[in-house]
Each structure stands twice: as C-alpha cells, then as structure tokens.
Amino acid sequence: KAGVTQTPRYLIKTRGQQVTLSCSPISGHRSVSWYQQTPGQGLQFLFEYFSETQRNKGNFPGRFSGRQFSNSRSEMNVSTLELGDSALYLCASRLTWSVSTEAFFGQGTRLTVV
Amino acid sequence: DAKTTQPNSMESNEEEPVHLPCNHSTISGTDYIHWYRQLPSQGPEYVIHGLTSNVNNRMASLAIAEDRKSSTLILHRATLRDAAVYYCILRVSGSARQLTFGSGTQLTVLP
C-alpha cells in the first residue's frame, strides 16, 4: 500500500513569506503528526491531528499552524518565515490514537528560508 | 516526561549481532517502549515496540529488563543498510501521545 506522501519535497522561501506543506497519510489512518528536524534541535514535535481535531501541540510559536481535512490529509502552515525555520518537516500517520500504535513517516519536506 | 538515555554512537561489523542499549529509569507502568531508526535522508522508520515482555519481529528483537528500567534493541545480523540513528522512545499514556525523540544512537556498520 502507498506510504505517507509529503509534498513538496523541497522548497525555498524568502524571509517573511508564508508556506504551506501537505501530508497525505496512509489510507485508513486517522492520526497525522508533524515534526521539525534540525541539526541543532533534532526531531521536535509540532502538533497532532486526529479526526480533524488538534489533539496535542508542541512548544512552537503561533506562526506554526495546521489542519486536517475529512479525508485525513493534513496541511501545516508557517507564516512570516524566519531563517531559523529552515528544517526538514516530517509528517507521520497512525492508524489509531493508541500509544501502542506505530507511526509511519513520510520522507519529509526540506524547507530552506533565505 | 519520561526520559531515555542512549549512547551517542556505536560500531558493529557487518553480519555480527548488535545490541543497542537504552536506559529509562523513570518509566511508569503503562509506558510503551518504542524503537525507531532514521536512515540518511529518510524519515524515521518504526522498528519494534514492547511493554513488558521481550518482542521479536522480522527486523529486530527487543529485550526488556524485568524492572523495565532498561531495554536493548538487538539486530541479529547487522548489514550495511542498518547504519542509521536509532531512537529509543517511551510512549506515554494520557493526553500527550507524541513521539519524544532524544538524540539517539548513531550506528555505524563496518564492512
């Protein structure tokens, strides 16, 4: 079956712009999480959606937002981009909300802010 | 949050077993132990998880100490493709269910 699909794979934006990243989970998965990965901070949790509702949010400023659609696809948006937002943004989907459920990650979107 | 401690790096020879340790002394009774790995230029990949008993799957085995304060991921025959960063993560029951990644163990497999 198809894995988690993230688009675009690479993106270059200018400081002050905004960006929208997309994630299509594995078919049937209802939970989508977003993570930011940087060399300095490692993998950090941004937020998780389940059944179109944000269930949990990490410690990121309000410039980072997301949403989930009825087909479980998710988007995350970053407004007023800063140089420090340059990172690999990863999306993960899970079948259920249970903590024993494994997460499947996409290959990520590499965002570069110049 | 419950924390995990892993060595920064380990080396192994190809086709030999690898034992990757993880300490989680503050684990609570309902926390699951998950292992993920991240190959270069890829997103993390699920490896295995367990609660109390040892677990085996096609990728690896997970040995959990009797007091659950530590665990060991076992790769039975390392291949070059197993070179990756391995993350040991505690999945906590309750409202905060995200994966909290530490710095992981960078595994180098030598030919």
Contact residues on chain A for B36, CB-CB shorter than 8 A: 103
Q: Is the peptide bond preceding residue A8 cis, with omega within 30 degrees of 0? A: yes
Per-residue model confidence as pLDDT tens digits over B10-49: 999 999 999 999 999 988 888 889 999 999 889 999 999 9
Contact residues on chain A for B42, CB-CB shorter than 8 A: 107
Which of helix, strand or coil describes residue A85? helix
How many Cβ atoms from other residues are within 10 Å of residue B96's Cβ? 16
CB A35 within 8 A of CB A89: yes
Name which of A42, A56, A99 is nearest B101 (Cβ-Cβ): A42
Torsion angle, CA of A68/A37/A63/A85, rounded to 10 degrees?
A: -140
Distance of CA B75 to the CA centre of its chain: 10
Residue of A nearest to B96 (CA): A56
CB A48 within 8 A of CB A54: yes
Question: What's the average model confidence in pLDDT over A6-21?
Answer: 98
How many whole angstroms separate alpha carbon B36 and alpha carbon B88? Answer: 7
B44 and A43 within 8 Å at the Cβ level: the answer is yes
- CA quadruple B44, B45, B46, B48: dihedral sign: negative
Contact residues on chain A for B62, CB-CB shorter than 8 A: none
Contact residues on chain B for A43, CB-CB shorter than 8 A: 44, 87, 99, 101
How many whole angstroms separate alpha carbon B15 and alpha carbon B12? Answer: 9
pLDDT of residue A98: 76
A45 and B95 within 8 Å at the Cβ level: the answer is no
Per-residue model confidence as pLDDT tens digits over B49-99: 999 999 999 999 999 999 999 999 999 999 999 999 999 998 876 655 677
